[in-house]
Amino acid sequence: MTSLETAPSKTGLRRIAIDPVTRVEGHGKVTILLDAENRVHQVRLHIVEFRGFEAFVEGRPYWEVPVMVQRLCGICPVSHHLAAVKAMDRIAGYGALTPTAEKLRRLMHYGQIAQSHAVHFFHLASPDLLLGFDCEATRRNIVGVVAAAPDIALKGVKLRKFGQEVIRHTAGKRIHGTGAIPGGVNKALTPEERDELRRDLDEHVGWAVEAVALIRRLAGAAPDFYAGFGSAPSHTMSLVAPDGAMDLYDGGLRARDLNGAILFDHVDPAAYHERIVEIVKPWSYMKFPHIAALGAEDGWYKVGPLARLQTVDRMPSPLAEAERQVFLAAGGGRPIAGALMTHWARLIELLHALEVIRDLLDDPEITGTDLMAERGARAGEAVGIIEAPRGTLIHHYRVGDDDLVSWCNLIVSTTHNNQAMNEAIRAVARDHLDGRVVTEPLLNHVEVAIRAYDPCLSCATHALGRMPLIVDLVDADGVTISRAVRNADP
């Protein structure tokens, strides 16, 4: 943790706020404290929205939860849908899914990965990377990309649309579907739907290969900048398959340390709380998880594409694995921590997702009709973990004999990355703002570091009870009349 989290004294410091942070999902802001010489003394990413979904879920019937929790997010609802239903499989007493049901859930999930990664890179991140961090702010958006590089923009839109179609055919609709239910799925994939999805898939795989080549060229043209921008060396964590391969739907938890050595491996998802603990800080609604054995100071870690590519032993899809080897070689044998390198990793995962979708659609069992597992003894408590587009997503529930949820804990991908995002923007402030006249393009550097993590801020603010709260009463002229503060800096 760096000294830039909290200034030793705020006397004589002025405050700059980036409010709101743009081109991310949800609402957040960055505050920077500077002295008279523009020296940086404090940098914080604040999550300013509050939603409390964990409390909303309590008291609801368990079978409502996989549909209800999707309202956390409009970009990755499938991830919440599947993490919740994996927990409810156990709550309802279902054993192993039928082969067709598991493959349909995987197809749904990899469609989600493809559409979310395409949205992030082409719509949100590419304006910075293709047009430049200091491009005029009014052009630095997807419309600007369409004008400057229409072919790239169009392929990005079509890749996202394809992912949405995969979701529609498996979940029932593109956003907030209902396809997965405790014990299986409620909708088979017809041969006609399979053929529709399969028709242009090879072309989409080719576009993903082109996208990886694009980011590889960008990084290759400025290797030191890509490696060092917003660098926040940390531990990493993700699910891995029993053989150590990448598996974004299921597996055990693995964490590596700063040097790439394994901290723990193949941890049963139900035992996540023995490895990870969360703390709150008085200036953010988002919690700060860390590896329990290492403590809050040294135990923070990353999840998501940059972490996953370095946590797993291999990717089980040939084109993506070949690109992963090129990516790892760029690090020269050392763990890669630069924020911009996350975009490279994300596009390799986009390619991986499309390869997996192709394999699933070519599997004859994908159009089977045996959709529900056998039911056995119920459980009162269960955990569902999945690798969402932004990283590891944990859903943990307790359900009473009355079928109502009595307790819920969600640790979403952006929450895992909370400390890493704060460290990344402090690195950018130290390297690019400290001692310089602050301009809009320089402040955009800070936002670029946050965007690299593709944060979903509305997903990440849930808990009630000990979270900081400030309530201001202002008059018609905007003057604060009174302020109430609980567990927060006034």
Structure letter (DSSP) for residue 48: -
Residue list for the binding site for Ni(2+):
73, 76, 456
Q: Would you call 466 helix, strand, or coil by DSSP?
A: coil
Q: Which residues pair with 289 in a beta bridge?
A: 278
Residue list for the binding site:
54, 73, 76, 410, 456, 459, 462
First CA to last CA distance, the chain: 23
Residue 92 C-beta-side C-alpha neighbours within 13 Å: 24
Question: What is the distance between the alpha carbons of residues 207 and 228, in angstroms, rounded to a whole number?
Answer: 28
Structure letter (DSSP) for residue 34: E
Question: What is the distance between the alpha carbons of residues 136 and 113, in angstroms, rounded to a whole number?
Answer: 31
Residue list for the binding site for Fe cation:
76, 459
Residue list for the binding site for Mg(2+):
54, 410, 462
User: Under a CB-based contact definition with an 8 Å cutoff, are residues 70 and 465 in contact?
Assistant: no
Main-chain phi, psi angles of 23, to 5 degrees: 55, 40
Torsion from C-alpha of 193, 199, 204, 205, nearest 10 degrees: 100
Torsion from C-alpha of 233, 235, 241, 247, nearest 10 degrees: -50
Burial class (CB in 10 A: 0-12, 13-18, 19+), 350: buried
Q: Are strands 301-302 and 235-240 parallel, antiparallel or unpaired?
A: parallel
